[in-house]
Each structure stands twice: as C-alpha cells, then as structure tokens.
Structure 1
Amino acid sequence: MSRWKPDARERLVLAALDLFIDQGYDATTVAQIAESAEVTKSTFFRHFPNKRELLVVGQEALSQMLAEGIAEAPEGVGPLDAVAAGLVRASALMGPEVREIGPRLKKALAASTELQERDALKSVALAAAMTTALLDRGVPKVSAALAGEIGVLAFKRGYAAWVENDRFDFGTHTLEVLRELREARAAL
C-alpha cells in the first residue's frame, strides 16, 4: 500500500461501484474493493460493515437533515410545505462528489437485484424519517405517511435529473418536482 491518502471512504465507494459495474456485485470481494481504493481490508471495515452497506453511505445524515428541515419548518405550514423545508435542508448534502457517484450507482443498481433491494430499503428509511418528523409536528398519521412518500418521490426524481444534468441546482429542481407532484395529487 502506498502512503496514506485522504478520502478513503469516498474512494472505497467509487472503487466498489466501478467493480460492481465491471464484474458484478456478487463477484466483487471486499479485498478487491480495498485494493482498488488503495486501502487495506481493515480500513474498509473501519468504514463499512460489509460491501452491501456501501450503497447507503450518507443515508443516516440525509434522514437527519430531512427530519431537521421538517421540524424547523414554520408553525402552521402544511405537511408538504414542511417536506419542502426538509428537502431544502437535505440539499446541502448534495455536493459534486454525490453527483459523481450518481451515474455509477445507477449502473450498479441496474445490474443487481440485491442492490435494488437495498436501495428500496433506503427509500423506506427516508420516508420513515420524514413521516416521523411530520408526526412530531402533529400531522395526522395517514397525511404524514403520504407526505413522507411524496417527499421520497420528489427526492428520487430530483436526484435522477440532477445527476444527469449539471445545470440543475438540486434543491431548486427537487422543489419543482415536489410542485409537480402536488399538482398531480390535486388532480387525483
């Protein structure tokens, strides 16, 4: 191994995604990921419990930011306005390194059922975080759950468009998607 380099966590994620794309998720080992990222296996395990957890890097911080934004929304706003505040708050996490991971993540997910399942669990966790934050604001259970699911849909659609077009600002675009979803909900 060469001298210590910064950003081991990011390098591990990028190396893993590239290997998942090139040789498949199942055929990729932790040792290969560590070698490709120029770290030791023990460094890998300091950052991740297993290779599956590479895909949820940042999920906890994202859930927390969404919940904090919802909690800090002005009193009296409706559930979707509170979700909008959560999306704005979470957009602070969406930097260039996240955008760089996006296309690789999309390819890796397309090639692996196990990774698709893990990604679905991530969406469930984000919806749960938003729903809980809305319940804490006194929003009725069904309304909170629906608003949380709409928030996840806005996040996912906004993220997909943002990754594919660097002219978009993540927060602005995601709020636009949320506006479209509100209109669609009203038309139901």
Structure 2
Amino acid sequence: MSFEKNLLERIASYIPGYAGYKEKEVRREADALLRRHIASILSSAAAQLVLSPTDARAVAANPDARFLWDSVKAALDKVTQKIDKAPHGYSGFFDLVKVDEAALEQVYRHDLALVEAAKKAADAVALLKALRPGTAEWADALRQILAALQSLDVAVDERNKILKGIAEVPPPVWEKPAGGEKKKGLLDRLFKRG
C-alpha cells in the first residue's frame, strides 16, 4: 500500500491535482489530466524545434540532416496527438467498481514512466538548442530524441493495452488452455479468482 502511495505521490509531484484511479468517480478525470500533462510537455518541446533561416538552409542542403529533422518533428507530433486525442474513458477500466491493488500499481508504474519519458524527451529537445544544426553532434542528439519518442510511442500503446486488459471479459470457464493449469492474469487478480 505504501509503495502504491509513493507512486501516486511521485506522479502527483509532476501533475498537480492528480488523484489516481482508486475512486471510480475520478478515474476518467485523472486519465484526462495525465494525458493533458504529457501532451503539454510534448507540445512545449515541439515549440522549441525551430530553426533560424540560416540554420534551416544548412539543414535543407544536407538530405540526411533534413530527414532526421523531419523525422523528429513528425514523431513528436504523432506521439503528442496519440496521447492528446485518445478517447476519454474508452476502456472498461473506468467503469469497474473496484480495481485490484496490484493492477492499480501496474497502471501507476506505467503512468509514472510515461511522464518521466516525456520529460526526458523534452529535456533532450531543450539541449538541442545548444548544438549547431547540421553537425555530427546535432545529428546524434536528433537520433537520441527520435529513439526516445519512438519508445514513448510504444509505451503509450502498452498503456492502452494495460487499461483494456484490466477490464477484458474472461473466456468461459469451460475453455481451458491446452497446458492444463490456467495462468492467473490481471482480471483474475482483479476479481481475486482462482
């Protein structure tokens, strides 16, 4: 319980007003608050991705540098839109009366990782301003930002799967796996079955 509270406090340190998912009434609001905060971090980072006219000409003259620059801007926009435009409360997770503590901890861990990954990507974008566009260091920094954004994109998809998986309808009891014993999944832990 204290570990879960620690996770919740760490997330709340990034997002004022974040209350977590324990109470059914505030789950959708907490989810929207989290996603808005992450989208805000990424939008601020996107606003920093500007080149002076001289730097823009230098980047445009180098096809590899231009491709990297455009890839970072596109990846940043894609992740921001994916987080910001996700349907509110699309998952049955938001309708459950009671959610298992272990399942909540898994969601909190993932949410904290998302916030920290977004902040890390934004910090890397901020450091990019100190580098001269078109140089090898600048290209390496762009590659690192692109890798961070791609892993953030995957993490957003994983979060969606986690939330959907918590509320999935279990297969009928008569459909047992071929191996005999049934693995205990999130739904089983959630409803404390078997």
Q: Which interval holds the TM-score relative to the shorter structure? A: under 0.3
* TM-score, normalisation: structure 2: 0.26
The structure with the greater share of residues assigned to helix is: 1
Q: Which structure has more RCO (C-alpha within 8 Å, separation ≥ 6)? A: 2
* TM-score, normalisation: structure 1: 0.26
